[in-house]
Amino acid sequence: MKCLNCSVDAREVDSEMDGIELVCPECGHFGVSSLIMKQRARRAFDVEKTQVFLHREREINPDRVPVINSESVIWA
């Protein structure tokens, strides 16, 4: 599948969360909640700011997969 943030080829991985989890060469391993999946049909993420957010989250919490949800989403 295409990365939900930057659109390069990414790999979807099994997820326990309510949404989609994927691994992208540019954005890394992250999740997108099902609510945001619905909303992004009409809107797009700010690609660069979202990548910065994801990389920063992984620095803060290396053991946790960062998730784009209603609180963390950065719309373009």
Q: Which stretch binds Zn ion (CB under 5 A): 11-19, 27-35, 55-63, 67-75?
A: 27-35
CB of 27 to Zn ion, least distance (A): 3
Amino acid identity at 44: A
Q: 45: how many CB neighbours lie within 10 A of its CB?
A: 22
CB of 34 to Zn ion, least distance (A): 19
Handedness of CA 47, 52, 57, 62 (dihedral sign): positive
Smaller CB separation from Zn ion, 8 or 35: 8
CB of 14 to Zn ion, least distance (A): 19
